[in-house]
Amino acid sequence: MGAMQPVVVQHPLAQCHLSAIRATDTPSHEFRKHLNLLARLIFSEASRELPLEEISVQTPLALTHGARLARPVIFVPILRAGLGLLDGILPLVPDATVAHIGIKRDEETALPHAYYANLPANLAAADVFLLDPMLATGGSASEAVRQLKEAGALRITMICVVSCPEGLAALERAHPDVPIVTAAIDAGLNEKCYIVPGLGDAGDRYFGT
C-alpha cells in the first residue's frame, strides 16, 4: 500500500491567516494570533474523522441525544515551535493530554537531535496529533513518529502549517501510515534546508526571539 496523500487545507480563512504569518513585517503578537487561528482551522480538518460515541444530554427542556469523542486525544508538540500550534488547538479539546518531544536540528548537517521526551502510557488507546509548524527535511517529524510508535502509539496524524516536497517525501517514506495535514506545500528547500518561500523560523517569530 502506498503512502497517503497529504491533505492541504484550502479554507479561505486558512489562506488569509497563512498569508499574515508569511509576511516578514508581521510582529510577534500578530504572528501568534494568526498562527493560533490557523492551527484551529488545520486541526478541524485533521480531526474530521475522529470517532464519536452517543451520550444522553439533559437540556433545560428535554432529554436529547449528544456525542463525545470515543477515544482520548493526545497532542504532541515538537519543542519548541510546536507549542505555537498547541496554543491554538488545545481550547478545542480542553481535556486532551499534552505530551512533549524535544528535537533540535543540527544547523551544520540538518540532521535531527532528540533531547527530550515526556510521553503518557495510554498512547495505544488514543488519537495522537503530532504538531510542528514546518515540515522541512522531514527528519524531526520522522524521528518523533518513531518515538511515538516505539512508545505504543497506533494512530498518529502529523499537523503542520508549511511543508515542502522533500519533507513530505521523507516522512511518507519513513512512515507511510501517518496522515499529513498542512496549510501549504511550498516549492522546496534552500541550501540551508529552510523552506522557500516559507515563513522564516516559526519558533523565533512566535516567541519573539
- Catalytic (active site) residue 109: yes
Out of 71, 80, 105, 155, which one is annotated catalytic? Answer: 105
Q: What grid cell was written down for 46?
A: 485533521
Out of 64, 68, 106, 204, which one is annotated catalytic? Answer: 204
Pairing of strands 112-118, 162-163: unpaired
- Catalytic (active site) residue 173: no
Which residues fall within 8 angstroms of residue 129, CB to CB, at 6 or more apart?
43, 46, 47, 73, 74, 75, 76, 89, 156, 157, 159
- Catalytic (active site) residue 105: yes
Out of 109, 146, 173, 177, which one is annotated catalytic? Answer: 109
What whole-number distance in Å separates Cα of residue 149 and Cα of residue 30? 36
Task: Report the Cα 125 to chain-centroid distance in Å.
Answer: 19
φ and ψ of 46, to 5 deg? -65, -25
- The Cα-based distances of 9 to 92, 159, 198 in angstroms read 18, 11, 16
Q: What grid cell was written down for 94?
A: 480542553
The catalytic site residues sit at 105, 109, 201, 204
